[in-house]
C-alpha cells in the first residue's frame, strides 16, 4: 500500500505520514530489543510472542491511541488491554518508551523487587485488569467500551490485543456475540495471528479467511492486514475508528519471533528466553535496523472526558416488618433498586435470570444502567471487571451454581482487586425440586478461597438489605449468597450489619452448646433451640452472616461460654463452607466443633424434606446437640 493512500485516508500530508511510519518502525524495533533484553535477563518469559506483536503495539501506542503517557488513569485516555498477557514485556516496553518510567526498570522483569511481573496486574498504574489466563481480555474491554458508550458518553476507544491461540476459548465467543449485540463500534480487537501455539501450531494457523468468516459470522467488521506493516495497520485502525454500528476486529498476520532470523516462525520457542549469546546477536541485528535519525512525534492527546455526578446518599430504611416473610433473593433485588436511587455509580448485570434474582427491579427503574448478558456467565463477570476499572460499582447476579462456570474470571478479578459485587441465588438443597444441577453447594468454598473477597450470607430480608449497602460501600470484591425460600424477618430497622460481624440471637448464662449457622438453616437452628430448651440443653445461636471476614472474637467468646462445644449447620457441601471457616477461626482454642452439612449429591424434593434428608433440619440439629452435650 502506498503512503499516499494512507495520507489521503487520514487527511494528513504524505510527508507527515511517512514520518509517522518511520517512527513506528523505529519504535517497534526498540520494543523487540527491550523485550528480548528483559526476558534474557530474567531467564524466563515470552520474547517470541512479544516480537510477533511489536509492530501492532508500536502502531497503537505511537500512531493511533490518544492518551496522556504521564497519567495512565486519565479518564479520557484510549484504553489498551493485553489479553495475551504473556507478552507483558512488550506492554512494559511500550509504556517505558512512551516515557512513563525509565527503561532501566525493564530488566527487573519478573523479580520480587519489581511490579513488572510475568503477566500484567493492576499493581501497575497502566494495567486496568489482570491478564494471563487467556480468553478474558475481550470481556473486560467490552465492559470498558460499554462504560464509554452508554454510561459516561465519552469518546475514548478501547483496543484489546488477543492471541490467535486464545481465540479457541469459548469466552471469546461469548464476548464477541455480546459486543455485536451492543453495537460497540468504539471497541477494536486485534488478533495477533502468529500461527504457533505453545505446543503445536494453532488450529487455523495462517488461514486468515477462516478467521474473517468466523468474526463476520458473529457480526464484527473484520479486516485482514499484514501485522508487520505499520501502514496497513494504520489504515485498518483508521477504518475501525470510522466504522459505525458494530465492533471491529483487525486480523493481523504475523510471525512468532519476527526480527530474529534463527527463531522466527519456528516451533518450540514459546515461553523460552534467548540465551545471552543469542540475545546479544539478535539485539545487534535489530540495532542495525534502527532509524539513525527518527522523527520526533507527539503522542495524540486525549479529549477531556464528560463530568458526571458521583454524589451518593444513604440508603433508605428497609421496607420490611417483623411480620413479613421474604426470600433473601427478593430482598436483594429491592435493596439493589433502592441503591440505584442513591448511588449513580451502581450498575447491574444479569445472565438471563433477572426475574429469579429480582434484578429486574433495578432494570425497570434504571434501564440505562442495566446490562443483560444472557446465558454467558464468564462474559458477565469479565464485563463487570471492565466496568469496575472505570470506577463503576457493578453488581452481577445469577444462580450460585452457575457462577462456577465463571470461576476463572472470578479468580482473575480477585487478582485484579476488582471492585465487583457478585450475588449467587438459589443456594443449597433448600431450592427444592429443581435438583442438584441447580443447587449452589460449593459457592462459599469457591469464593472464600480467593484472598480479599468478602463472603456474606444473610438470613433474612432486613440483613440482606443492609448487606447490599455494605457491599456497595466496601472497596473490593464481595459475594452475597441468597436463598430461594421465603423466610421470616428477624431483625428490626435499627439493626446494623457491618462486614466482619455476626449476631447472637439466643443466649443465656447456662448455655451448654453454641450453634453457628446462617441462611435458611438459621431458622432450623432456632426451632431446635426451643426443643433443646425443653429437655434441659440450653443453646446459644449465632447468625454468622459474614463468613469472610469472620467474627473470631464472638465465636471464641461463645465457645468458651458453652464448654468449648460448637455445632455448625450449613446448606452447603461439607468442605470449604461455613463450618470450615468456623474451625479455622477457633483453631488452637481447644474447641470441639461438629459440622452438619450436605455430604452427598442431593436429590429433588420439597425443601423441608431435603433439609431433613441431608441432616440440616431442626430434628437433625437436636440429635447432634444431644450427642455433643
Query: What positions carry a catalytic annotation?
Result: 377
* C-alpha dihedral (49, 51, 57, 63), degrees to nearest 10: -170
* Whether the bond into 138 is cis, omega within 30 of 0: no
CB-based burial, 231-258: b 16+ in 10 Å, e otherwise: bbbbbbbbbbeeeeebbbbbbbbbbbbb
Cα within 13 Å of Cα(32), Cβ side: 32
Three-class secondary structure of residue 263 per DSSP: coil
Q: What is the DSSP string of 344-391?
A: TTEEEEESS-HHHHTTHHHHHH-GGGEEE--S-HHHHHHHHHHHHHTT
Q: Which residue stretches of 390-480 are H helix?
A: 407-415, 443-448, 461-473
Q: Are 131 and 169 in contact (CB under 8 A)?
A: no
Element (H, E) at 594: strand 592-598
Residues 518, 521, 527, 533: is their CA dihedral positive or negative?
negative
Q: Which three cell numbers stand for residue 286?
A: 535489530
Query: Cα–Cα distances in Å, from 273 out to 31, 41, 90, 267, 269?
Result: 15, 9, 14, 14, 8
Q: What is the 3 state secondary structure string of 495-537?
A: CCCCCCCCEEEECCCCCCEEEEECCCHHHHHHHHHHHHHHCCC
Which residue, chain included where needed, has cell 461439607? 574
| Nine cell digits for residue 318 | 428497609
Amino acid at each position: 500500500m502506498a503512503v499516499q493512500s494512507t495520507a489521503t485516508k487520514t487527511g494528513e500530508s504524505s510527508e507527515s505520514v511517512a514520518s509517522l511510519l518511520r517512527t513506528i518502525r523505529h519504535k517497534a524495533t526498540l520494543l523487540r530489543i527491550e523485550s528480548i533484553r528483559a526476558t534474557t535477563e530474567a531467564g524466563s518469559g515470552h520474547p517470541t510472542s512479544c516480537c510477533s506483536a511489536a509492530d501492532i503495539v508500536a502502531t497503537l501506542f505511537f500512531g493511533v491511541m490518544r492518551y496522556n503517557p504521564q497519567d495512565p488513569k486519565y479518564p479520557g485516555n484510549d484504553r489498551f488491554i493485553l489479553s495475551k498477557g504473556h507478552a507483558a514485556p512488550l506492554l512494559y516496553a511500550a509504556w517505558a518508551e512512551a516515557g512513563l518510567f525509565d527503561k532501566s526498570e525493564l530488566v527487573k522483569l519478573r523479580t520480587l523487587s519489581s511490579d513488572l511481573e510475568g503477566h500484567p496486574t493492576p499493581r501497575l498504574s497502566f494495567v486496568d485488569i489482570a491478564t494471563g489466563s487467556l480468553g478474558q481480555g475481550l470481556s473486560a474491554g467490552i465492559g470498558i467500551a460499554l462504560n464509554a458508550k452508554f454510561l459516561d458518553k465519552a469518546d475514548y476507544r478501547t483496543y484489546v490485543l488477543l492471541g490467535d491461540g486464545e481465540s479457541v476459548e469459548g469466552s471469546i465467543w461469548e464476548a464477541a456475540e455480546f459486543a455485536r449485540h451492543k453495537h460497540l463500534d468504539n471497541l477494536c480487537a486485534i488478533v495477533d495471528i502468529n500461527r504457533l501455539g505453545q505446543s503445536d501450531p494453532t488450529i487455523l494457523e495462517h488461514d486468515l479467511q477462516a478467521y474473517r468468516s468466523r468474526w463476520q459470522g458473529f457480526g464484527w467488521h473484520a479486516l485482514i492486514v499484514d501485522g508487520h506493516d505499520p501502514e496497513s495497520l494504520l489504515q485498518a485502525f483508521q477504518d475501525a475508528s470510522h466504522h459505525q454500528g458494530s465492533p471491529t476486529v483487525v486480523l493481523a498476520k504475523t510471525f512468532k519471533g519476527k526480527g530474529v532470523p534463527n527463531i522466527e516462525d519456528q516451533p518450540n520457542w514459546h515461553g523460552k528466553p534467548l540465551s545471552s549469546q543469542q540475545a546479544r546477536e539478535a539485539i545487534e541485528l535489530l540495532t542495525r535496523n534502527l532509524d539513525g535519525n527518527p522523527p520526533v512525534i507527539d503522542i495524540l492527546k486525549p479529549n477531556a472526558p464528560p463530568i458526571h455526578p458521583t454524589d451518593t446518599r444513604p440508603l433508605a430504611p428497609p421496607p420490611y416488618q417483623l411480620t413479613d416473610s421474604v426470600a433473601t433473593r427478593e430482598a436483594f433485588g429491592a435493596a439493589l433498586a433502592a441503591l440505584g436511587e442513591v448511588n449513580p455509580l451502581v450498575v447491574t448485570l444479569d445472565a438471563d435470570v433477572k426475574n429469579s434474582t429480582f434484578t429486574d427491579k433495578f432494570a425497570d427503574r434504571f434501564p440505562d444502567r442495566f446490562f443483560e448478558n444472557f446465558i454467558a456467565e464468564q462474559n458477565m463477570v469479565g464485563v463487570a471487571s471492565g466496568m469496575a476499572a472505570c470506577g463503576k460499582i457493578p453488581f452481577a447476579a445469577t444462580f450460585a451454581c452457575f457462577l462456577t462456570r465463571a470461576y476463572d474470571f472470578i479468580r482473575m478479578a480477585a487478582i485484579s482487586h476488582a471492585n465487583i459485587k457478585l450475588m449467587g441465588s438459589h443456594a443449597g438443597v433448600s431450592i427444592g425440586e429443581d435438583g442438584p444441577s441447580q443447587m449452589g453447594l460449593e459457592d462459599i468454598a469457591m469464593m472464600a478461597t480467593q484472598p480479599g473477597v468478602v463472603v456474606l450470607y444473610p438470613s433474612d430480608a432486613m440483613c440482606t438489605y443492609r448487606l447490599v449497602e455494605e457491599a456497595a460501600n466496601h472497596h473490593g470484591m464481595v459475594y452475597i449468597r441468597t436463598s430461594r425460600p421465603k423466610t421470616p424477618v428477624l431483625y428490626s430497622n435499627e439493626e446494623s450489619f457491618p462486614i466482619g460481624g455476626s449476631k447472637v440471637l439466643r443466649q443465656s448464662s447456662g448455655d451448654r452448646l453454641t450453634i453457628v449457622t446462617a441462611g435458611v438453616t438459621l431458622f432450623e437452628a432456632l426451632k431446635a433451640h426451643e426443643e433443646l430448651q425443653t429437655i434441659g440443653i440450653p443453646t446459644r445461636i449465632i447468625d454468622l452472616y459474614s463468613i469472610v471476614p469472620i467474627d473470631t472474637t464472638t465465636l471464641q467468646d461463645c465457645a468458651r461460654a458453652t464448654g468449648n462445644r460448637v455445632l455448625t449447620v450449613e446448606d452447603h457441601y461439607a468442605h470449604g463452607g461455613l463450618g470450615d471457616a468456623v474451625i479455622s477461626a477457633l483453631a488452637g482454642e481447644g474447641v470441639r466443633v461438629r459440622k452438619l452439612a450436605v455430604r452427598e449429591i442431593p436429590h429433588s424434593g420439597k425443601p423441608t424434606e431435603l433439609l431433613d434428608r441431608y441432616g440440616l433440619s431442626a430434628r437433625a440439629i437436636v440429635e447432634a446437640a444431644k450427642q455433643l452435650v
